[in-house]
Chain A
Amino acid sequence: MNEYISVLIMLFLAAATAAGMIVATSLIGPKIEFADKMEPFECGESQIVSSKRRFSVKFYLVALFFVIFDIEAVFVYPWAVLFKDLGWFGFVEMMIFIAILTIGLIYVWRRGALEWE
């Protein structure tokens, strides 16, 4: 049980801080309602269009490419950690790996999947 004590304290403090802020603002903060305030929060920018609007499937495509190219980076980390031990051999291997990924990228690009229109 002992090893959980610190986690529990942390949890309690975090919950208390959050709850305290909500209670404090509702008790002492001014309550004025105006149009801008009632809008959804978008990083301080005012809203341009409704969030319920459908958006293009192209965002989806870009996200798919991002996922697939991004996750390959997972193999680069262990290589980087062992870079000195693996030496030239590891370097060449990794370059081949990246070259194959690049062929994938070239393919995606030439097939027009990165064009917006």
Chain B
Amino acid sequence: MEQVMSSINLSAIAPELILVVCSLLILLIQSFAPIRLKGWYGYVSLIGVVGAVAVVLTQPQSFELRAIEYSFNGMWVVDNYCRFFKLIFLLGTGLTILISIKYLDNEAMQHGEYYALIIFATLGMMIMSSGAELITIFLGVELMSISLYVLAGYTRNRMISNEAALKYFLLGSFATCFLLYGIALIYGSTGTTSIPAIAKFIAGAGFGGPTIVMGMALLVIGFGFKTASVPFHMWAPDVYEGAPAPVTAFMSAGPKAAAFAAFARIFMEALPSLQTNWTMLIWVMAVLTMSVGNVIALVQENIKRMLAYSSIAHAGYVLVAFLSAGERGISSILYYMLAYTCMNIGAFAVITVLAGKGEQRVRIADFRGLGYRHPIAALAMTLFLFSLAGIPPTGGFMGKFYIFSAAIKEGFVGLAIIGVINSVVSVYYYLRVTVAMYMQAPDTAAEKEIPVTVFSPALVIAIFISAYGVLSLGLFPSTYLAMVKLSFLTLL
């Protein structure tokens, strides 16, 4: 009993505790406080997020020491890898909250539940990145997913939002079952769910036998769904299109990063001896994900749907980094996810501004002439789209550069070539929006019907932070690289 007690280390879960308290507080304010406090939910949750960021940055030691602390009987680990991911999640959450405040006012749905759910989802992601044991990771996945199912259907009077929630729920929980069955098989063949113990068992036994390979394949399916990789991507376009725009922004960044965090930790730390088995699987997945995502994005008319396919393609680039494994691969995943979070949420922030009440202006045609009516919004959108396309001097370019150079150094030259061809193809559909914004006349008749959402200070701040992130990741990569280099997984 002594040992159990001593392994409980509350400081290891301090950022998570802050978020729990914050979300419970929001629920209590929602239950008791008078209606005029309505505007405060967003700010209370922001305070929680900022507090969690501060703790992640300082606890348990400074980044340079690269400490790895196991606690809770080896179920929980705090290392630089998970700390870096937690910063990405919290950045995504903070930006989403800034975007959401004005949006929810417009939709007359300013409720505390929204922010509580966003924070619960963030909590789930943090548990996924810190779990050193498969069941802990599973609980994180579920906490995140269940919150997201509700958020996708948050605008419950909108039919497409209902549809998005139902599809996300059915396909998401379907994927969860594969994940869980995979965990069960790995548990059965190794006798443990602890990541270091699994690695030790497989290394000791030489090879794990068919059960463990099958478990691994099921995990690939489960995480394939969660990262929206082809052929498990069917849900993503529908859900991204139907969900409210800030929620789409949120789930295209954090949850995807969290899925990659857990995916990489399990495969690099627990199953490195099966690398020959999973390399082939994931190679095929990476090629399909990049190509299918980019090709289908070419013909989309709805900008949310186009960005959904683009985010599928981006998952493909991250899979390329995943295959490179090792130090270079992992650090390029981290760099790319950070850049991706800034640029994707930034793009969705601009979409939120322009979509108007009830999100009626989400076709690419609606962006015509934007460069003249809203020059700053158009400029920000152009920056984010350039970054998504991988045009220098943006974060997206540096991210892709690191991924493809890691792939070439690890011997995946063919894959890198396919990736580069794909990102050239992607320039076409990103530029289409830019061309619409600057070189096409606006549709004046439709213009008058729906009032454009006005800027709110919070939205401007969100767009500014994203733009700053994209530019500084592109222009001054060395500071971020130094941090990333300290954060890759310590491989066994």
Name A's B-contacting residues (CB within 8 A).
Answer: 85-86, 89, 100, 103-104, 106-107, 109-111
Contact = CB atoms under 8 A, between A and B. Distances in A.
A107 B31 contact: yes
A40 B394 CA distance: 73
B214 interface: no
The residue in A85, A89, A103, A107 that gathers the most chain B C-beta atoms within 10 A of its C-beta is A107
Nearest to B23: A103
B417 interface: no
A107 B1 contact: no
Contact of B28 (A85, A86, A106, A109): A106
> Interface SS of chain A: helix, strand, loop or mixed?
helix
A109 B27 CA distance: 12
A82 to B, nearest CB: 9
Interface in B17-43: 24, 27-28, 30-32
A89 B5 contact: yes
Nearest to A100: B24
B27 A103 contact: yes
B1 A103 contact: no
Given A85-B1, A89-B5, A103 B32 contact: no
Contacts of A100: 24
A110 B32 contact: yes
Given A107-B27, A107-B30, 8 more contacts: A86-B1, A100-B24, A103-B28, A104-B27, A109-B31, A110-B31, A111-B30, A111-B31
A99 to B, nearest CB: 9
A94 B30 CA distance: 25
Nearest to B1: A85
3 closest A-B pairs (Cβ-Cβ)? A110-B31, A107-B27, A107-B31
B31 A106 contact: yes
A75 B30 CA distance: 28
A85 B5 CA distance: 11
B75 to A, nearest CB: 15
Contacts of A104: 27
A71 B339 CA distance: 41
Contacts of B31: 106-107, 109-111
A106 B30 CA distance: 11
A4 to B, nearest CB: 25
A107 B5 CA distance: 32
A14 to B, nearest CB: 33
Contacts of A85: 1
A86 B8 CA distance: 13
Contacts of B27: 103-104, 107
B108 to A, nearest CB: 17
Contacts of A107: 27-28, 30-31
Contacts of B32: 110
B5 A103 contact: no
A89 B31 CA distance: 30
A68 B429 CA distance: 46
Contact of B24 (A86, A103, A109, A110): A103
A31 to B, nearest CB: 50
Contacts of A110: 31-32
5 contacts: A89-B5, A100-B24, A107-B27, A109-B31, A110-B31
Contacts of B24: 100, 103
Contacts of B30: 107, 111
Interface string B111-148: 00000000000000000000000000000000000000
Contacts of A106: 28, 31
A42 to B, nearest CB: 35
Interface in B85-101: none
